[in-house]
Amino acid sequence: MQKLIPNIVLAMCVGMLLASANAAEQPKPRLTLEQRADKARIDSERIEQAQLEKARRAAQETSAREEKIRQQTNPKDWEAQQQLKAQKQFDERESREQKYLQEAKEAAAKERKIPKP
């Protein structure tokens, strides 16, 4: 039995070698230039379609991410913050103007003693 197993393995290896040698000897079909061009054109179209599909998927994913970000950052909140900020600046400016105007009125109301030369 022990001598039989190596013989079976050897026979299988020889059989595979003969099968691969036979396959290698078969001539490959020769394609004409026109057939090669057609095959290349078909391959090119297939690759182009695959690239277009990838680009479409990438564009859809990008637009989905953009929409998600837009929903997360509510522009109305930003607008409200900007309006509050502008109103606060306006109020500060107006209070400063009122303060300067009041100081000017007080200064005008004071009697001035101008020294005589």
| pLDDT at position 85 | 93
Q: Running DSSP on this structure, what letter comes out for residue 39? A: H
**Residue ranges of the chain with pLDDT lower than 50?**
none
| pLDDT at position 28 | 65
b or e along 57-82 (b: 16 or more beta carbons within 10 Å of the residue's beta carbon)?
A: eeeeeeeeeeeeeeeeeeeeeeeeee
Q: Rounded to 10 degrees, what is the CA torsion of 95, 99, 101, 103?
A: 180
pLDDT 10s digits, 16-43: 777 665 555 566 678 888 999 999 999 9
Q: Where in the chain are the domains?
A: 43-73, 75-116
| pLDDT at position 24 | 53
- The Cα–Cα gap between 52 and 46 comes to 10
| pLDDT at position 15 | 74
DSSP states of 7-38 as a string? Answer: HHHHHHHHHHHHHHHHHHHSPPPPPPHHHHHH
pTM over 0.85: no
| pLDDT at position 45 | 95
| pLDDT at position 23 | 55
| pLDDT at position 11 | 75
